[in-house]
Amino acid sequence: MKSIIKYVLPVLTGLFFMLAACEKEDIPYYSDVERINFDYTSMGLSKDTVNIAYGFVTDQYTNIDLELLLTGYAKDYDRVIGLTITSEDGAVAGTNYEIADNVIMPKGEVSISVPLKVLRSEDLMTTGAKSFLVKLVDSDDLVAGLRTTLFVTVSDDIPDKWIGDEGWFMNPISQYFGECSKTKYLFVYEQLGVWDFSSWSYWGMMGDAAKFTPAKRILKEKLAEYEAENGPLVDPKEGRVTFPD
């Protein structure tokens, strides 16, 4: 019995002091002003940019769920979220996009999904691409946080430049797919179902070889199948479509 007590007593003593320390320790809590941010991760974005190219599809609109996340606590009353949309090239509400007039964080919630409808307006074909900036701003109830912007570009044509690697310092899209042309871009989209490759990256800084390398292999195989049946795939401006070895 004495030997059991010899080993159990130190354990019980240690537990006692641990519990005493826990009782005295202050529990940290958020005390700063409550801030509202875009939750890019929940939106599947690696940066604050969305490109919509209707030249690839027949859709007349695209729904973007703006995921907003509060740094702070839920309240027992609704709170107004400050949000503005501005454009330097003529995008206007009702023609190029639709969104609710008032954005509210409901009582008891710390996150909200706000639908933004991006429209395929008739003027895209005549005036070219439109862009607009969605920005969270201070309201009487909540302060804008650190992730407060979403830049949306919409066009009704197939781009002749790859979309998504503008800020990468290594492994650009052209390293895997070669130089872009409209015919090649359409072929890539038809095979992969992707036109915005911004999420195919490491932290938005360099191309993810684990995604691009197998994609290039698929594209080369599909192009070989196409050429076996139809002959070379040729872009009217850039010539024959090929992919790097």
Q: What is the pLDDT of residue 57?
A: 84
Distance CA 177, CA 196 (A): 14
Alpha-helical regions (H) of 147-234: 173-177, 182-192, 209-230
- pLDDT band, very low/low/confident/very high, at 10 (cuts 50, 70, 90): low
Using alpha carbons, select from 113, 114, 36 the residue that is nearest to residue 73: 36
Total-model pTM: 0.70
Strands of 49-168, DSSP E: 49-53, 61-71, 79-86, 97-98, 103-105, 111-119, 130-137, 143-144, 149-155
Structure tokens at 46: 């690696």
Whether residue 93 has pLDDT greater than 80: yes
Give per-residue pLDDT as tens, 17-63: 555 555 545 555 556 789 999 999 999 887 899 989 898 888 999 99
What is the sign, positive or negative, of the torsion defined by CA atoms of 96, 36, 78, 67? positive
8 A C-beta contact, residue 157 and residue 53: yes
Mean pLDDT across 101-129: 92
Question: In sequence order, what are the residues at sequence separation of 6 or more whose Cβ sits closer than 8 angstroms to the Cβ of residue 40?
Answer: 46, 47, 48, 147
Give per-residue pLDDT as tens, 159-190: 899 999 988 999 999 999 999 999 999 999 99
Give per-residue pLDDT as tens, 185-234: 999 999 999 998 988 998 889 999 999 999 999 999 999 999 999 999 99
Using alpha carbons, select from 209, 130, 194 the residue that is nearest to residue 162: 194
Distance CA 174, CA 178 (A): 4
